[in-house]
Each structure stands twice: as C-alpha cells, then as structure tokens.
Homo-oligomer: A and B are copies of this chain.
Amino acid sequence: MEQRISLVSLGVDDLDRARTFYERLGWHGREIEETVFLQAGPLMLVLWGRSKLAADSGIPDTGRGSFGGVTLAHNVRSAAEVDEIVAAAEAAGATMTRPPAPTFYGGYAGVFLDPDGHAWEIAFNPGFVMDDAGGIAFP
C-alpha cells in the first residue's frame, strides 16, 4: 500500500447547505449524482449524504456521537491568514470550538465545525515547511 490518501469523504445531512458553506470559503466543486467533488491538490474532498456514505461503506449509522474521531487541518503561511479564514468560516455558518490563539508548538491556530460537525483546524505551524503549492513536510 503506497502512502496516499485519495479522497476524504464527509457525510452531510444537507448537500446544498454543505456545498454552499465550502463555496463561501472559496472552494469550487463539481457535482455528479448528488455527490460534490472538490479537488484539493492530488486528492479530493467529497461531500455526500451521510446515510449514503454510511450505507456505501457497509457501516450501520445509528446517529452521530459528539465527536466523529477525525479532524482535518488546513495549514497556512501566517497567523493573519488563520484569523481571516476563521472569520470567513464563522460568517459562513461555522461553529467555533477553539478560537484562534497561539499554540504550544509556537504556531497559531483555531478550530471550527462545518455545518455537519466536521472539525477543521486552521493552522500556522512554523514547524512544517510549506512548498509553493501548499504541501507540507518536516524540515
């Protein structure tokens, strides 16, 4: 198995609401059969009805817990960018769970939930190097 993630699929209760949220943050997607694919570098973020995603995965869905066990991070190049994105997310309907603040590792980050409760950390982390395309790696 090569070390690769090809898609990150988020189960959503209302596809239009979810799509609108990401579009308000500047993302662009392509909808195919009630599934929205948003290219993110070499992988795709996918928005799909939660019940369909669970059924397609062969997983019973008895309702969501308080924490799904997965978080996504979007790293940026400055603390100011963290503030800008978090403000835009709040304006688009996100729920803040950790307001932007300095982090123990010398960075600056905040966390919000999208309309379906999926957690995004927006982070400036000087411990990673970021290439021109936004890819991160250890120095």
Which residues from chain A sit less than 8 Å from chain B, CB to CB?
1-11, 25-28, 30, 37-45, 50, 53-54, 56-76, 85, 88-89, 96-98, 111, 113, 116-119, 121-123, 131, 133-138
Contact of A9 among B4, B73, B76, B136 (CB under 8 A): B73
Contact of A74 among B6, B28, B116, B135 (CB under 8 A): B6
Whether the Cβ atoms of A8 and B8 lie closer than 8 Å is yes
Give the complex CA separation of A53 and B73 in angstroms: 12
Which residues of chain B are near A97, meaning CB under 8 Å? Answer: 57-59
Q: What residues on B are CB-neighbors of A111 within 8 Å?
A: 56-59
Residues of B within 8 A of A6 (CB): 73-75, 123, 134, 136
What's the number of copies of this chain in the assembled complex?
2
B4 near A119 (CB under 8 angstroms)? no
Write 12 A-B pairs (CB below 8 A) sorted by A numbering: A1-B74, A4-B41, A6-B134, A43-B43, A50-B69, A59-B66, A62-B67, A63-B65, A64-B67, A68-B69, A69-B70, A70-B70
In the assembled complex, the Cα of A45 lies from the Cα of B2 at a distance in Å of 13
Report Cα–Cα, A61/B68, bound state, in Å: 9
Task: Contact check, A42 vs B41: say whether CB atoms are below 8 A apart.
Answer: yes
Q: Are B3 and A28 in contact (CB under 8 A)?
A: yes
Question: Which of chain B's residues have a CB closer than 8 A to the CB of A38?
Answer: 3
Instruction: Report the minimal beta-carbon distance from A92 to chain B, rounded to whole angstroms.
Output: 10
